[in-house]
Amino acid sequence: MKKLLNAPSDLVKEALAGMAVAHPDLLRVQLDPAFLVRADAPVRGKVAVLSGGGSGHEPLHGGFVGRGMLDAACPGAVFTSPTPDQILEATRAVDGGAGVVHVVKNYTGDVMNFEMAAELARDMGIATETVLVNDDVAVENSLYTAGRRGVGTTVLVEKICGAAAEAGRGLADVAALGRRVNDHGRSMGLALTPCTVPHAGKPSFELGPDEIEVGIGIHGEPGRRRAKLEPADRLTEMLMDPILDDLPFRAGKDVLLFVNGLGGTPLLELYVVFRKAHELAAARGLRVVRSLVGPYITSLEMAGVSITLLEVDEEMVRYWDAPVHTAALRWGV
Amino acid sequence: MKKLLNAPSDLVKEALAGMAVAHPDLLRVQLDPAFLVRADAPVRGKVAVLSGGGSGHEPLHGGFVGRGMLDAACPGAVFTSPTPDQILEATRAVDGGAGVVHVVKNYTGDVMNFEMAAELARDMGIATETVLVNDDVAVENSLYTAGRRGVGTTVLVEKICGAAAEAGRGLADVAALGRRVNDHGRSMGLALTPCTVPHAGKPSFELGPDEIEVGIGIHGEPGRRRAKLEPADRLTEMLMDPILDDLPFRAGKDVLLFVNGLGGTPLLELYVVFRKAHELAAARGLRVVRSLVGPYITSLEMAGVSITLLEVDEEMVRYWDAPVHTAALRWGV
C-alpha cells in the first residue's frame, strides 16, 4: 500500500487538522467526537444543513462546509458510518433554533446512525428533518444498502439545500426541496481500478488488466456487471442510457450535468466523458443549463467516473447559482 | 493501459470539445491549431496573459482560462510542447492592443517554441513579454530542462499576473510582477507511482512496491533520488527542508502554502501533508496567510504530491485575492 499517511488510524484526524489550518476562515474542527462546522456556527435563526458518512469520498462532505452549503460534516473512519454521538454533537453545535436538516446517503449504517442521532436531538428539543439520497440507478439493494445507493446527487442536494437555508427558508421547505432534488437526480458510475482502504492495506476487489466494473458503488460495491474496457464514448453510453431511461428525464427539460471523477482519473478524461454525455443528453432533447466536472465524490484513489443528471426547475437553478464559500466549491464570494 | 479515452490521438481534442460545452460562459475553443481563449477575448486595451505547455497537467493551463487569470492557453499533445504556430495564433487572438505576457515553464521545448512565437508576434506588431517559471528546487538541469524546472509556482504566477492585467496594469508591470512571483516561489515534489502517457501505453518509469521518487518532475523526470516510502510527516520534511533552505524565505514573512496533488492522490492525504507543511513553515517563523490544496498541476494519474511556498508581499496578496472566474479556480464572482 503506497499512501501519504502516518498511522492509518490517524489519517482522518490528521486530515481534519490539515483542513483546520488550511481554512480557518471557513470552518472549525472538533476532534472528539470528530466533526467540522462552519466558522460562524451556529447561525441564529437559520436552518442548519448537516451531512456525514464514511471518509474517503473527499471533498464530500467536509470540503462542502461553509457559507451557502453545509453547516456541519461528520466524517466516519474510511468507508465507515459516523457514530450517532458524532452526529448528535454536530447537530447540537450548528442548531441555531430553526432546526437541522440531515442529508443522508442511503447506506444501512448511515441511515441507522442518523436516525438514532435525530431521535436523541429531538429529545433535546432540536427539530430535525432527514433528506435521504438514493439516486444510483445501477442496482436495487447492494452490499451496504437496501434500495438504491446514494451517490453524486448528494453534492447537488447539499448545495441547493445549503443555499435555501442561507436564504432563510424554513426547516420543512429546505427538506422538501432536498427531497425534490433527490427525486429528480439520477447517477451511475464505473471503475477502472479498485482502491485500497488504509487499515485493510490491500485493494478491496480485483479487476483484470482490461476489465471494468459497470455500476460500481462508491465503496467498491459490485455493480451491474464486469465488462471489457471499451472506448470512452461507449462507456459513457453505458452510464447515460440507464440514467436517461430512468425517470424523470423528459425532452425539452433543463438539466444539470455532473461528471464526477472517482479519484484517480485525470481531468482530461473527465472532459472526454462530459463531451459525449452532453451529446447524448442533447440527443434526448435535454438542455444542459449547468455543469460540474471534477472529483467531488470520490472513492480514495479509484480510477473511474460517475455521471449525475439532475432535471432542474427554476428554483433549483437559482439556489445552485447562489453564492457558496467552501473549500471545494466556491463562487459569488 | 486503462484510461477513459477513444483514440489516444484524439484525447486532447476531445477534452477541449468537452471544455467548450461545459464552460461556454467562460471560454471558447479553437481546434486547428488548438487553443482556448476566454469568452470575451480579445479585451480591448487590456494586457493579455497566455500560457501553454504539454497536456496531462490539467487543470493547468486550460482550467485557468477566464476572467482574472489566463486570456489563452495552448495545450500541446500529452507532455509535449505546443507548437510556435499554436502560440502565435493564440497570441493574435487575445491581443487587445496592450501586449501579451507569455508565462512559460522552463522546459527546453516550451522555451524555444514560445521564443519563436514571440518573435513572429513582434514581426506582426504585437508586443510580448515572457515570464519564465523555474521554481523547482529538486535539481539543476533535468531530462528536458536547462536550469530549474517550472512547476507549482506557475499556478500562482498565472493567478497573480491575470489579476494585475485585469486591474489595468501595463505590459512591463505585469511581466515584472510575474518575475517577482517566480523569484519568491519554490517547489518540490515526490511520486509514489508513475503515470502512463496514452500514446506510449505503458508507465514512463518504474517504482518498486515501497519505493518513491523524491524530487520528481511533472513528466516523470528523475528527481534527486529513489527512497523508501516513509510516514507522511517524514516525506513532508523531505520536501519542505530543501524548499525552506533555498532563498528567499525569511522568518517573520508571510507565505502562501500550496499543497498540490499530482493526480492520483486522495485529498485526505493532501491535507495530512498540508498539516505538517504548515507546522514546518511556522517552526521557521513563517506566517501562512493564504493556502491552496488540491490537484492544480498534475501528471495524469500519478500518485504523489508537490509543495510550493511563495513568500508574498502586499501586492501579491491583493492580486491573489482578486476575483477570478475559471473552470478550476473561482472566487469573488
B125 CB-contact burial (10 Å; exposed 0-12 / middle 13-18 / buried 19+): exposed
Give the model confidence (pLDDT) of B243-255 as tens digits. Answer: 999 978 889 999 9
Domains for chain B: give ranges and CATH numbers.
8-184+321-331 (3.40.50.10440)
The percentage of residues in chain A with a pLDDT greater than 70, rounded to a whole number, is 100
Helical (H) or strand (E) element with B34: strand B34-38
pLDDT of residue A142: 86
Helix axes B84-94, B108-123, angle to 10 degrees: 50
Q: Which residues of A touch B19 (CB under 8 A)?
A: 271
- Chain A, nearest residue to B192 by Cα: A2
Instruction: Spell out a b/e string for B78-113, using b for 16 or more CB atoms within 10 Å of the CB, else e.
Output: bbbbbbbebbbbbbbbbbbebbbbbbbbbbebbbeb
Give the model confidence (pLDDT) of B52-63 as tens digits. Answer: 999 999 999 999
One-letter amino acid of A149: R
Contacts of B91 (CB under 8 A, 6+ apart): B48, B50, B72, B100, B102, B117, B118, B121, B126, B128
Average pLDDT over residues B301-322: 98
Give the model confidence (pLDDT) of A36-87 as tens digits. Answer: 999 999 999 999 999 999 999 999 999 999 999 999 999 999 999 999 999 9
Residue in A11, A22, A333 closest to B268 by CB? A11
**Hey, is the C-beta of B326 within 8 angstroms of any chain A C-beta?**
no
Annotation says A219 is catalytic: yes
Order of all β-strands in the sheet with B27-31: B27-31, B34-38, B72-78, B48-55, B100-105, B128-133
Contacts of B151 (CB under 8 A, 6+ apart): B105, B133, B135, B136, B187, B189, B217, B218, B297, B306, B308
How far apart (Å, rounded) are the C-alpha atoms in residues A258 and B105? 32
Written as nine digits, the cell of B110 is 516550451
Query: Residues A23, A102, A219, A278: which is the catalytic one?
Result: A219
CB contact under 8 A, B233 and A278: no
Average pLDDT over residues B136-157: 94
How far apart (Å, rounded) are the C-alpha atoms in residues A174 and B83? 52
Annotation says A61 is catalytic: no
Minimal CA–CA distance to A328: which of A291, A289, A292? A292
pLDDT of residue A143: 85
Q: Which residues of A touch B29 (CB under 8 A)?
A: none
Contacts of B330 (CB under 8 A, 6+ apart): A330, A331, B324
Give the model confidence (pLDDT) of B123-143 as tens digits. Answer: 999 999 999 999 999 999 888
Does the pLDDT at position A302 exceed 90?
yes
- Chain B, nearest residue to A291 by Cα: B22
Query: Residues B23, B61, B102, B219: which is the catalytic one?
Result: B219
CB contact under 8 A, B11 and A268: yes
- Chain B, nearest residue to A272 by Cα: B15
How far apart (Å, rounded) are the C-alpha atoms in residues B30 and A266? 22
CB contact under 8 A, A231 and B6: yes
Give the model confidence (pLDDT) of A262-297 as tens digits. Answer: 999 999 999 999 999 999 999 999 999 999 999 999
Rounded to the nearest 10 degrees, how much is the dihedral formed by the CA atoms of B155, B158, B164, B167? -100
CB contact under 8 A, A209 and B265: no
Closest chain B C-alpha to A331 CA, distance in angstroms = 5
Q: How confident is the model at residue B163 (pLDDT cuts 50, 70, 90)?
A: very high
